[in-house]
Amino acid sequence: MTTEQISIGALSRQTDVPVETLRAWERRYGVPTPQRSGGRHRRYGPDDLKRVRWLARRVADGERIGEAVAALNLVEGADGEAHRPLLDAARDGDVGRVEGELDRAFGALDTLPALELCVFPALAELGRRWADGREAIAAEHLLTAAVEPRLATRLSAERRRTSAEAVVFCGPGERHALGAMALGLLIGDHGWRVTFLGADLPPEEAARLARRIGARLAIAVCTLDAPAEALMASDPPAGDVDITWVATGPGIESTPRSAHGWRVLKGDLRQVVTEIGHLTPE
């Protein structure tokens, strides 16, 4: 890798971040971190280029720069594996450490980056270890049980400041609802007042409640292929012309974007939240 030192103008051109913005980031957050040349000019190295590009991507995705810097510091402090302390605590069955690591993640970061950088990678690795026989499933359950109350508390608080009703659920055969709960919480920032209905719920039952509360959006989160295929094989409940029915989640990645009346949203959690934001009623 090159060790060439470049000027702030060159750094700006290579990252598409204006010079004025780079200077503001440097003053307020210490990123980038210049070295002084013999002529006392600021010079920036490959690490600065990499860090600014990382920050620029997150800001372009809608994250505030302060949160992006906090996420960067968390990742760099853990050698790129911010989820590792949480993972190790769950594997050891140490509830106190798990709670402490969650306090650290959710204290330093907003909900979405805390989930992206710490919680979901730890859960994914626990799932892989269980699948190949290296880990007991209890570790994944321990971590899930520690995270869910935090999201539920935040979801309840979010409901008090939004007004457009939506229901979020996981369909028949689905057992894991943490991702659906996270999605329900995050779309609150886009004006939706979410009623979270949990896992293993037929769409007809979700529709019954949606009608009762006047919801205009119903989201089915599919984590498994077989339940997703069954859900996509049928139309959403009839008679709900005012309700937009959305299907999303890992289970629907191979599904066409329009399937039997469902609006299919693909991508990671951040992308799906952004797309649902475009559905917000005026």
- For the chain, domains (ranges, CATH) are 8-60 (1.10.1660.10), 84-150 (1.10.1240.10), 161-277 (3.40.50.280)
* Torsional class of 40: left (φ above 0), alpha (ψ -120 to 50), beta (otherwise): left
pLDDT (0 to 100) of residue 2:
46
CA–CA distances in Å: residue 162 to residues 179, 249, 279: 21, 24, 15
* Residue 99, pLDDT score: 96
Rounded CA-CA distance 128/122 in Å is 10
pLDDT tens-digit readout, 160-203? 766 789 999 999 999 989 999 999 999 988 889 999 999 999 99
Angstrom distance (rounded) from CA 80 to CA 172:
37
DSSP-derived secondary structure letter, 134: S
| pLDDT of 79 | 64
Distance in angstroms (rounded) separating the CA atoms of residues 115 and 111 = 6
In DSSP terms, which residues pair with 247 in a beta bridge? 220, 264
The phi, psi pair for 264, rounded to 5°, reads -95, 125
| List of the chain residues with pLDDT < 50 | 1-2, 282
